[in-house]
């Protein structure tokens, strides 16, 4: 087993993808008068209002492809909003020209994210289904509720459909955190290989896994430097220690970089290790009695 550690300044951005576009969303398109209300099969508390455009069903799917009626998501989790069997688009030479844009508000009704048109091409499809991904990450945070608006319109007609819904982001409850005069914004596990946040604590043999800490603060800062200590203990199912590092940071580190992000990289290659593995990370301030512990289990899939 080999464990490396890195300190880095990084931001995990909000990801909303389907098709890229250079088309700007005009104020008129955002403020289009909403007329008739479409009745749709909807268990996700998605409000939908329409003019000309119709949608048979709106639903959410998770990263593994499963559908969900839940609008509570774990920090870093990605979900997809789907609009199936749409109709009402003008067809020109058999092609339709849909458009979609999204914006997200926080609890203070501040716009924290918005997109331009995600669809720029024309499509000859008969069954029109549109979708977009939303990744619950910075600038969003756990223990918060957000309001998303999705605006769909016809670039070659007057049809519109606007949906909105609330969703809540929660921390991974499989990571137990205790703090003493240190605070943080987020703690989560992420796979470098899949580039996805790990929410079930299952990892594969040879998979590179990060334990990520965002927003660490509370250290005594001297000349922009924090004297942080960070160690990790990993034990197997029998309680035997498989790895221990007493301190990843023997030297002071830049406090701003520390606040942005710090992480430990785990790499499991020993087929004889028996899981679940118990991992305990201790972070402490060498200039005070402040500390933080994060405990979690990893299920090693071989």
Rounded Cα–Cα distance for residues 32 and 151 (Å) = 10
In CATH, the number for domain 27-170 is 2.70.50.60
What distance lies between CA 157 and its chain's CA centroid? 34
Query: Given this model, what pLDDT does residue 154 score?
Result: 96
CA quadruple 139, 142, 145, 150: dihedral, nearest 10: 50
How many residues make up the chain in this entry?
302
Same CATH fold assignment for domains 27-170 and 172-301 = yes
Q: What is the pLDDT at residue 22?
A: 30
Give me the CATH code for the 172-301 domain, please: 2.70.50.60
pLDDT confidence of residue 30: 37
The DSSP result for the chain, as a single string, is -EEEEEE----------SS---PPPPHHHHTPPP-SPPP-B-SS--EEEEEB-EEEEEEEEETTS-EES--EEETT-EEEEEEEEEE----BTTBB-EEEEEEEE-TT--EEEE---S--S-B--SSEEEEEEEE--TTS-SSEEEEEEEEEEETTSS-EEEEEEEEEEE--TTEEEEEEB-B-SEEEEEETTT-SEESS-EEETT-EEEEEEES-B-PPEETTEE-EEEEEEEE-TTS-EEEEES-S-SS-EEHHHHHH-EEEEEE---TTPPSSEEEEEEEEETTSS-EEEEEEEEEEE-
pLDDT value for 73? 95
What is the 3-class SS of 103-137, one letter each residue? EEECCCCCEEEECCCCCCCCECCCCEEEEEEEECC
pLDDT average per 10 residues of sequence, the chain (302 residues): 28 26 37 34 69 92 88 94 94 95 94 92 88 91 96 96 96 97 96 91 93 96 96 94 94 95 91 91 98 96 86
**Sequence spans of domains, the chain:** 27-170, 172-301
């Amino acid at each position: 087993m080999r464990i490396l550690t890195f300190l880095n300044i990084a931001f995990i951005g909000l990801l909303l993808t389907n098709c890229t576009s250079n088309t700007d969303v005009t104020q008129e398109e955002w403020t289009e008068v909403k007329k008739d209300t479409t009745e749709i099969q909807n268990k996700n508390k998605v409000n939908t209002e329409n003019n000309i455009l119709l949608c048979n069903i709106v639903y959410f799917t998770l990263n593994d492809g499963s559908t969900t009626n839940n609008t509570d998501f774990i920090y870093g989790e990605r979900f997809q909003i789907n609009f199936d069997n749409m109709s009402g688009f003008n067809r020109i030479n058999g092609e339709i020209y849909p458009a979609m844009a999204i914006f997200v508000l926080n609890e203070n009704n501040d716009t924290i994210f918005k997109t331009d048109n995600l669809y720029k091409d024309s499509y000859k499809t008969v069954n029109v289904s549109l979708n977009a991904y939303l990744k619950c990450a910075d600038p969003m945070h756990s223990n918060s509720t957000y309001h998303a608006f999705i605006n769909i319109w016809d670039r070659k007609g007057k049809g519109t459909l606007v949906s909105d819904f609330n969703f809540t982001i929660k921390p991974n409850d499989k990571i137990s955190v205790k703090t003493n005069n240190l605070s943080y914004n987020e703690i989560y596990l992420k796979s470098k290989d899949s580039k996805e946040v790990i929410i079930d604590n299952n990892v594969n043999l040879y998979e590179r896994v990060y334990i990520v800490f965002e927003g660490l603060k509370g250290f005594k800062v001297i000349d922009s430097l924090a004297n942080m200590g960070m160690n990790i203990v990993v034990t197997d199912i029998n309680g035997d220690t498989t790895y221990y590092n007493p301190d990843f940071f023997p030297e002071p580190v830049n406090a701003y970089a520390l606040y942005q992000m710090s992480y430990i990289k785990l790499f499991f290659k020993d087929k004889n290790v028996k899981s679940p593995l118990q991992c305990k990370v201790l972070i402490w301030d060498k200039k005070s009695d402040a500390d933080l512990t994060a405990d979690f289990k990893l299920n090693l899939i071989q």
